[in-house]
Structure 1
Amino acid sequence: MTARTIAVVTAGLSQPSSTRLLADRLAEATRAALGPETTVEVIELREVAVDVTNNLLTGFPSPRLRKAIDTVTRADALIAVTPVFTASYSGLFKSFFDVLDKEALDGKPALLAATGGTERHSLVLDFALRPLFAYLRATPVATGVYAASSDWGSVAATGALQQRVERAAGELAALVSAAPEAVGEPEFASVPFEQLLSGGV
């Protein structure tokens, strides 16, 4: 079975944070669906916040930010989780994706998720996150996962959240499994110059 790499981008600011907790659950469920050979690489944006800002100002990533960017670019799939600020994704979350190359997420399977204090902000998945990743030409799975504070408060609520997590993770695993493996550049055979002149390529 092919080994896969999943990049997890989490924009929680506190430590510990419900955003990181949700990211870990999504990563664990995706890894379980894909198999134990799957590698999960987590990027805590709070750890590169200054680097992201400097990159926006100078246009040059630090080595630490370059490593995070390369992790996302080279991964087979992306799990992106943001806290909700002012009814949208956080500024740090958006800034990180602003510094990526415009083709970095082209066609990449993605699972979108968010955390917030109230269920009223669950529409952030469809009205903020999906348009952003559509612009980046990623391929989000159908199920987005939103976790409000109440989703962590009882066994029943946590169980319902876990069902959404496993459904979204299963969809991401299916997309990753169906994606063709990366292939190298095609090899071109050399053609004699005389043959090129005669048009007999």
Structure 2
Amino acid sequence: MPNVAIIYGGNSHQSRLKGLYQKTESYFKKEGFSTEAIFVHELPAEDLLSANYASEAIAQANAKVANASVVVVLTPVYKAAYSGILKSYLDLLPQKGLEGKAVLPLVLGGSFGHLLAIDYALKPVLSSLGATTILSGAYVLDTHIEKLGNEQFFITAEIDERVDRVLKLAKEESTRALRAY
């Protein structure tokens, strides 16, 4: 069974980013993939800040990425770049930790002014970690995801369809890569 690692680079479960997480997890489970989440804000802060490569929690998170055929990277945009907490975790992945994986960035922003954060901020870092199959991903405005309460979210139909398209591409790329091996 193909495996998906979802790296959640937000700083809480209250963020609209959680709506994208839930959408991603639900999509892949429905398609027969197993999913594993890495909620970066739940990893030990001291291990992230001190770059503790020997941390058991970091090793467990890295194992989820190592075992995945698809890695979905979820992040909010802050100051035209991905979140600092996400960067702290990505710095602890092995040098070629994303090699041979379909990598899908999903980014949540407050305005179209940061639309290029995927291409100019996030993709270079993912590439430096060995990712050669970085899919286009999706940039979603936070106004298209409504908080309903109790960690439930509503995604507008337009965005729901667009995210479905990029998730389908990740699924297809994963299937193609698995057949190649």
- State the superposition RMSD in angstroms: 2.1
Partner deviation per Cα, 1:95-152 (whole Å, 9 max, x = no partner): 111111101111210110111222221221111112221222211123x111212212
The answer for unaligned runs of 5 or more in structure 2 is: 147-154
2: distance between equivalents of 1:96 and 1:67?
12
DSSP-derived class of the 1:61 partner:
coil
CA contact (8 A) 1:27 1:79 kept: no
Q: CA deviation at 1:49?
A: 4.7
The answer for unaligned runs of 5 or more in structure 1 is: 184-201
Identity %: 27
CA contact (8 A) 1:109 1:176 kept: yes
Structure 1 equivalent of residue 29 of structure 2: 31
CA contact (8 A) 2:10 2:85 kept: no
1: distance between equivalents of 2:89 and 2:54?
11
Structure 1 equivalent of residue 152 of structure 2: none
Structure 2 equivalent of residue 170 of structure 1: 168
1: distance between equivalents of 2:91 and 2:53?
13
TM-score, normalised to structure 2's length?
0.86
TM-score, normalised to structure 1's length?
0.78
DSSP-derived class of the 1:107 partner:
coil
Task: Say which structure is richer in strand.
Answer: 2
In our comparison, the structure showing a higher alpha carbon Rg is 1
CA contact (8 A) 1:49 1:92 kept: no
CA contact (8 A) 1:118 1:150 kept: no
Task: Say which structure is richer in helix.
Answer: 1
Structure 1 equivalent of residue 150 of structure 2: none
DSSP-derived class of the 2:106 partner:
strand
